[in-house]
Amino acid sequence: MDILPLIKENYPFEVKTQLDHGIIDTNQGRKRYRIWHDEALLNWHQEWREKCSQNPYQLTDRMLQTKDKRKAIKVEDVWLTVHDDIIDPYPTKDFEQKWAHFIARMIEIGTTTKDDCISTAKREFPSASEWKVWVSKTKLLDEKKRKILQSCIQEAMRRKHKALELRKKDKEKRLPIMDKVSSTTQAKKIYELFVWQGTAEAPEYGFVSFTHFLQQWVGENGEESLIKLLNEMEEQIPFRQMYGNELLAEAWLPWELVHAMEHLQQSEEEEEIEVHFSTFQKEWNDRRQLVLTLLNWLKEDRKKVAT
């Protein structure tokens, strides 16, 4: 499918050149185009971006309108949308309040999103039996890495058990349905404005991606900054009371080991193993720091209640 002629014909700007896959340069700045194969998913993302935007302070990468005011173009069996593409990331440390306001708004909107409107993404935590076999038999690991992974797998199973036990306390609680919040690079900055770059993926039930986001935050900015972010969120919504246990349970689930094992098992060279193992060790430590920070944050609330 030749996309550029469609964009030139339908949108009120001049296309200069294609910069990268899905990115074009125009006389009105960089634009990103997306192809949607599911109209229901497209409609969900249109509505989600509209609801989450707060003009003029915090914006989302909403679908740009065509010359005749449409937000998407139907082409054969798919739909085309175009969005502003902003390069500069929004700063994190010392800007916790800005982030917290937007994240809290997304969570609040997510609590009112109907769960029957579209298929949501849910992930089941895998069994560790295949990991144990691979780690014990592969020749790509030296003995030091093998022992570290074996120890991490054992700890991961203990963490999984803790998470499942904690979830039993809130098993009837309804969690928010949101677009994925998974990286600090999703927020962009233009003219001092906060602009959130959404995804084109299925909405997510709960906090799987958000926990990864918090893990990245604490790894980049430290515990003090993360506590500040969480406290600023608490100023907007009763997040600790509503979802504190669920967030802690999600943080205990060792998804960083799942991702690492997926990459390690697909590796064919020792150089690949080195890269993935190094990434895993950092993520494992960041996740541990996240869990400790959340435990301290939740404990502070219990102290306040007790006094």
pTM over 0.85: yes
Q: Report domain 3-84's class.
A: alpha beta
**Dihedral (C-alpha) 164, 165, 169, 170: value to the nearest 10 degrees?**
-10
- Quote the pLDDT of residue 305: 46
Q: In which element (H, E) is residue 203 found?
A: none
pLDDT of the residue at 115: 64
Rounded to whole angstroms, how far apart are CA atoms 37 and 79? 7
C-alpha–C-alpha distance, residues 133 and 111, integer Å: 41
**What CATH class has 96-306?**
alpha beta
Distance between start and end Cα atoms, the chain: 65
Burial 111-127 (b: 16+ CB within 10 A, else e): eebeeeebebeeeeeee
Q: What is the pLDDT of residue 307?
A: 42
Run means of pLDDT, 10 residues per run, the chain, 307 residues: 92 94 95 96 95 90 97 95 97 97 96 72 78 94 96 95 89 89 96 95 93 96 97 96 94 94 94 96 96 93 51
Evaluated on CA atoms 187, 190, 194, 196, the torsion sign reads negative
Per-residue model confidence (pLDDT) at position 127: 82
Contact predicate 214/290, CB 8 Å: yes
Length of the chain as a residue count: 307
> How far, in Å, CA of 138 to CA of 141, rounded?
6
Domain ranges of the chain: 3-84, 96-306
Q: What are residue 75's phi and psi, to 5 degrees?
A: -130, 110
Sign of CA dihedral 208, 209, 214, 215: positive
